[in-house]
Structure 1
Amino acid sequence: MATEVQPLRIVLADDHPIFLIGLKVVIEQGNHAWVVAQASAPHELLQHLKTEPCDLLVTDFMMPVEDQNDGLRLLERIRREYPTLPIIVVTMLNHAGLFRAMLALGIQGLLSKSSVASELPTAIDSIRHCKTFVADSVKRTLLEAGDFGSNTLVAPQDLSPRELEVLRLLAAGHSVGAIALQISRSKQTVSAQKISAMRKLGLSNDAALFIYLQEHGLA
């Protein structure tokens, strides 16, 4: 007997009312997901997160309010206050530096508003399976910025078992600190194994690492 898929409870945030409606339709159309709250400003989003139990946040990167339009700072606050909450970011921006910064915060999904109808269902399914989703358009931007290339020095199977274990756990969305607790190693040791693996693979930053893990079926 097949196991029934539990619907994901999603908090949705975007400051454009029409786009917010569109996102809700995409999310609730055959995704085993439902929107439990909607926000059009950062303060509304933070209030909903405080009062509405949810399994996933889908949010626009920038929701200007008065003089505050720092999307990265908002994401940092959410990640700090809700460290285990999966987050999918949708954005009209196309900036490799911002993409790197968001991925470094442990964002589980990153996609462009131009492709949200086709890619958001896939991103939500990836979150359900504890995997990171990076849209093709984001990958292209990072590729063009020189953040990821074909200069891999070794294949994944040539990494040490411990390095590969750390990369698999990173791909599942765990932080270095969480991995250290899970496998009973110090944060310094886990961090060193991550850096060693990236050096062997010819990867220069976390964004390149996440893309590499996806491309090689490790995420």
Structure 2
Amino acid sequence: MPNPLRVIVADDHPVILFGAEHALLKFPGLQIVGRARQSTELIKMLQNDACDVLVTDLAMPGGQYGDGLPLIGYLRRNFPNLPIVVLTMLENAALLQRLRELGVISVVNKSDDLSHIGLAVQHVSRNLEYMSPSVKVALDALRMNSGGKSDEVMLSRRELEVVRLFVSGMTIKEISEQLNRSIKTISTQKNTAMRKLGIDRDSELFQYAQSNGLLNLSSHSSGEKGDVPQ
């Protein structure tokens, strides 16, 4: 009889963590060997416990290693052979594409049936891609809108600066005063960044910024957690 696949599950919401575990236990051959609520616990487990597949939430603040794309980048650099299934509520196509560029071949949207988590684990353990239905729809829309191309979304340095200051809580007027640019210029740069990212609402911009590490960009060292499109 083959050895079970050892799975670590990480999520900061107890209900999601319980639901993911319950879904995984319905699949024979899967064994949950660890549970983490933030990145500090997760990295400690990975350093000390044998694990075949990691299932991790994308937005999981509060840990030493951050969350979002910076955490995924850290995992890919330090555990390059570890298959990862990412859980997320975000459907932003640019963010999903960025995950694929980081080497994540499985993403499950939490709004889809949680049974997709077990299917994803089975696939990535064999190095096969698995995207849950909502994720497939978003990625297919991105491919159609880009004519089949999957180039990384590129924000200019000034656009990135404006987005970072805006999500930190500053108004357009305050940003214009700090950067010594006109209000019209700042507003245009913000709107251009949102259009490039396929984002329509400020709330989505905050979600995107959190998952990309932009909310804590000033405190992240570029060598450790700088996996952010620039």
Q: TM-score, normalised by structure 1?
A: 0.63
**Is 2:93 the counterpart of 1:96?**
yes
**Is 2:1 the counterpart of 1:55?**
no
8 Å CA contact 1:14–1:20 kept in 2: the answer is yes
8 Å CA contact 1:90–1:116 kept in 2: the answer is no
**SS at structure 2 position matched to 1:115:** coil
Give the structure 2 partner of residue 111 of structure 1.
108
Q: 13, 17, 22: which one pairs with 1:16?
A: 13
**Is 2:28 the counterpart of 1:28?**
no
CA RMSD, aligned part only? 2.3
**SS at structure 1 position matched to 2:112:** helix
8 Å CA contact 2:123–2:130 kept in 1: the answer is yes
CA offset at residue 31 of structure 1?
3.4
CA offset at residue 144 of structure 1?
2.4
In structure 2, the CA distance between the partners of 1:69 and 1:32, relative to structure 1 (3 Å rule), is same
8 Å CA contact 2:6–2:33 kept in 1: the answer is yes
Could you list the per-position Cα deviations for residues 159-209 of structure 1 after superposition, in whole angstroms to 9, with x for gaps in the alignment? xxxxxxxxxxxxxxxxxxxxxxxxxxxxxxxxxxxxxxxxxxx54348xxx
In structure 2, the CA distance between the partners of 1:150 and 1:103, relative to structure 1 (3 Å rule), is closer
Q: 150, 153, 172: which one pairs with 1:204?
A: 150
**SS at structure 2 position matched to 1:23:** helix
CA distance in 2: counterparts of 1:50 and 1:69, whole angstroms:
17
CA offset at residue 150 of structure 1?
11
Percent identity over paired residues: 34
Structure 2: 5+ residue runs without aligned partners? 153-230
CA distance in 1: counterparts of 2:48 and 2:63, whole angstroms:
24
CA offset at residue 148 of structure 1?
4.3
Q: 70, 75, 78: which one pairs with 1:78?
A: 75
**SS at structure 1 position matched to 2:108:** strand
**SS at structure 2 position matched to 1:114:** coil
CA distance in 2: counterparts of 1:116 and 1:90, whole angstroms:
12
Could you list the per-position Cα deviations for residues 127-182 of structure 1 after superposition, in whole angstroms to 9, with x for gaps in the alignment? 2332011122112112223x24796xxxxxxxxxxxxxxxxxxxxxxxxxxxxxxx
Could you list the per-position Cα deviations for residues 86-119 of structure 1 after superposition, in whole angstroms to 9, with x for gaps in the alignment? 0000101111111011111111310101114231
CA distance in 2: counterparts of 1:150 and 1:63, whole angstroms:
30
Structure ranking higher on relative contact order (CA contacts 8 Å, 6+ apart): 2
CA offset at residue 83 of structure 1?
0.3
CA distance in 1: counterparts of 2:150 and 2:76, whole angstroms:
24
Q: TM-score, normalised by structure 2?
A: 0.60
In structure 2, the CA distance between the partners of 1:66 and 1:88, relative to structure 1 (3 Å rule), is closer
CA distance in 2: counterparts of 1:30 and 1:118, whole angstroms:
9
CA offset at residue 44 of structure 1?
0.6
In structure 2, the CA distance between the partners of 1:15 and 1:139, relative to structure 1 (3 Å rule), is same
Amino acid at match of 1:104: E
Give the structure 1 partner of residue 189 of structure 2.
none
